[in-house]
Structures are given as structure tokens and as C-alpha cells.
Amino acid sequence: MRFRWDWLRPVVTVPYVPTLGPVHPSVLTEDLFTDTLIAAPTERFLRYDKDIRWLDAKDEYVLVENVVHSPSETLIPTFSRRGSGTVKVHVYGIGPDVHSSASLLARKLAADTSAAKARVVRFLGPEAHPGRGVRVQLKDFTTGPCPAPEGPVRPFGEWPEDVRHTFRPFAEQMAADGFAFLQQQMQEGTVGPVLVAVLNQRVAGAIGPMEVRPDAVGAAQLMPQYFGVLPEQRGNGLGRLLWRAAMYWGQSHGAAYQLLQTEVGGASDRLCRAEGLTSLGFTHRQNV
């Protein structure tokens, strides 16, 4: 099947494509949605999929036979093999019953696939003011310079060996933020540089890996990073310093933009808002 753009485009309030995540508004076309359907039975990555950096095969795919597509609503279910399995139904629609329809579909497909979790993913435009959820944000590197910040931030490999040895305990303490996984990738040499903030000769924060890849139309995108500061070191500006160092790196390496997802009201969300990023809207996930 192919999606009808005259049906889908009016109800896409956030530039977000199932299994791919946020995309630049200028890239958003029916081709991206259709590409996910074509890729579904292959377990192969689309060449512009951000997850291609981490996995050998795609672990989430569209349940093509169960897509609901009409002039007023489009429901796109996906299945993820990660963990004990998750079904997500992505809701693009304005009808009064669309959420109920999505919930019923999610529960049915979770039973059919033996998935442990069933979720509905809804979207709200940038004009909304949700109390919770995830904000999709855009950093545009073409609007002005990103100066190099002054402070104790350098690429990991530029710190002395005794400082580099402190990355492991940092990563273990920040495992919930993905840094234990990132450290493994660093040891295997499969990822780009990681920028590290150091206080008292110990790693206190990090952001990375720093990588620029082409998007669906070939524009240079700074890829999402793991980003965190030790709890006991928060509140002294290290997070902002790391962020600005990452933006300087991205602009210096030719990136045109970066897309981020931040929990509404969280520290990263407040930082990005203060740094002037553009809100593209919100996603809200609900277990059903």
C-alpha cells in the first residue's frame, strides 16, 4: 500500500514518522511513511535511520496489514521485539473516536503478537501546552554561529589517561541514561567522539557520540546524543557548557540541524528552551 498524502498531511501535527522518530519538517513527505512499510518485512534499516548506528537489524517495524488509513484518521501500528515485545499505535487524526479506536487496535495486536505492552502514541502541535510528554525540538545551525565555550570540556581522547579511567565509574553511575552502553561502544571503537566535562580530575558529565549523517534528502544532520551530568555536579552550568560544546562541534563539522526529544519540564527541556530551540510539537505515549 501507499499513503495518500492528501489524507495524511492534514492530520500530521508533528513531523514524526513511526519507527524513524522525528524528522526535519522540510523532509516530511508521504515517501518517508511509505518507506517504513516497504522496509517492514525485510528487517533492514533505511539508509537514513538514526538507529543504524547501534544495531545489526531493525528491531521495530510497521504492522503493515493492520494500518488504518482514511481521510479523517490514520493509525499506524508498530511492533518492537525489544524486551518482551511492545505494540505501539501511532495516531494521526482529528475524529472524536480516534483514541478509542487506537486503544482497541493496540490491545488486539498485543494479544495477536504476544507482546507484553500495548501503547498509543498521540501527537500535539507546537501551540499546545501539555503538562507532560515529550517535546520535539529543532536546532538550526544555519541561523547563526555557535561559539566555542570556555571551560573544562574536551573530547574524551584528549584528556590524560588518569582522567579517562574515571569514565567507567561515571558511566556506571549514569547507566540509566545510556552511558554504560555508550562506554561499550567507545571501547569497541564503533562511534564518534564523546565530549567530556571534568571537575577535580574526574569525569562529571558527557555528551556524545558526536556524529553527522545525511538525512532522507542528503542534508547533514547532527545525530542524537547521550547527554548527562552527575547528580552531585548539577546546577553549576556543566550541562549548558557540554551542550554548547556539542553545538559548536556540530556546526564546525557541517551539520545543518539537529532534532531532539526532551521530557516536558525536565532539565534538558528547560536547557533547550533557554537556548532558543524551535518546538515542533509533542508526543504523548499511554499504556493501554
Dihedral angle at the C-alpha atoms of 83, 224, 173, 283, nearest 10 degrees? -60
Q: Where are the domains of the chain?
A: 5-129, 143-255
User: Residue 192: its pLDDT value, please?
Assistant: 94
Greatest pairwise CA separation for the chain in angstroms: 61
Spatial distance between the Cα atoms of 220 and 216, rounded to a whole number of angstroms: 10
Cell of 273: 528552551
Overall CATH class of domain 143-255: alpha beta
Mean pLDDT by 10 residues, the chain (288 residues): 92 97 96 95 92 89 96 96 96 88 97 97 94 96 95 96 97 97 93 96 98 96 97 93 98 98 94 96 96
Query: By the 8 A CB rule, do 120 and 88 touch?
Result: yes
**Do residues 58 and 44 touch, judged by C-beta distance below 8 A?**
yes
Cα distance between residue 152 and residue 205, in whole Å: 10
The model carries a pTM of 0.93
Q: What is the pLDDT of residue 185?
A: 94
At 94 the pLDDT is 79
pLDDT at 56: 84
Helix or strand or coil: residue 56?
A: coil
pLDDT of residue 1: 81
Helix, coil or strand: residue 165: coil
